[in-house]
Amino acid sequence: MSSFAAGKEWLVHTAANMAASMAASRRFLTAAAAQRLDTVLSAGNLWPLGLVFAGWALVRVVGGPIGVAVTSALRLWGAYAVVDSVQDIFGELTDWAKVCAKSTENSQAETEKAAELFAVAVTHGVLDGLELLLVHRIFVSARRVLIRRVPVPERLAVEMEKAKAEAKQKAETEANRKQRADAETEAKQKAETESKQKQRALAEAEAKKSEVKRKLRTVAELAEAAGARRAAESVEGIGSGAVVAVAVAATVLVGVVLVSRSS
């Protein structure tokens, strides 16, 4: 196999692993981070980025005969300059690049490992660098060459569809979870509000009951006081009449005695 053919084979193999792991990294990200990843890594950018990353990884990270072969292919295509531009931005992706370069084709476990490493890089801000790379003139030039020279492999298309389906399911699950959580919170708040209203109503009812008892007690005390007063007045009235009667009787008696004596 010629150096060029070997370089192209390694490039396609590693690029497919990288693109597959980038697509699969969504399952290790939060919904917000996955949404931003989808915005940056569109279907049109994923494969070219995989090729660019693969060229950088095989030349600068793996090196040796493989690096020489890939360098040969990239130089022949006029896309070698992209290696340096990626190195300046994504030096921190070395571990991810090594896993992708060494991964065997269609190894789910290795794809998952690489996907998790890429997701960690995303949480550390690698998307900021990706956005810069996508508009870099060197990448734009290399992208046109690479996608013309190296078509998207079938297994990557399958992986991309699988990742999209999983991302959609994750988003739906997250939405349902949030909806349930919101419903539970609303129900809890409603129950607390109803409980407070009930407690307030019971307190108001108890206050009204106490007020009624107080008023009834006041009325009873007033009635008792009024009855005692009337009784006292009655006794006083009876006493005065008796004195008058005695006085009248005495007067009559004295008058009788006097009349008798005068007779």
pLDDT in tens, the chain (263 residues): 556 677 778 888 888 888 888 888 888 988 888 888 888 887 778 888 888 888 888 887 777 887 788 888 788 777 777 777 776 666 678 888 888 888 766 578 888 899 999 999 888 888 888 888 888 887 888 788 877 888 777 767 676 677 667 667 766 777 778 888 788 888 888 888 888 888 888 888 888 888 888 888 888 888 888 776 665 566 555 554 544 444 444 444 444 444 444 45
CB 149 within 8 A of CB 77: yes
3-class secondary structure, 58: helix
pTM > 0.75: yes or no: no
CB 99 within 8 A of CB 139: no
Tokens read off for 234: 């009655």
The rounded distance, in Å, linking the Cα atoms of 58 and 70 is 7
Burial code (b: 16+ CB inside 10 Å, e: under 16) for 176-197 equals eeeeeeeeeeeeeeeeeeeeee
CB 62 within 8 A of CB 83: no
The rounded distance, in Å, linking the Cα atoms of 141 and 155 is 26
Residues 6+ apart with CB under 8 A from 51: 11, 15, 146, 147, 150
The rounded distance, in Å, linking the Cα atoms of 93 and 166 is 24
pLDDT recorded at residue 52: 84
Residue type for position 83: V
Phi, psi of 194 (to 5 degrees): -65, -40
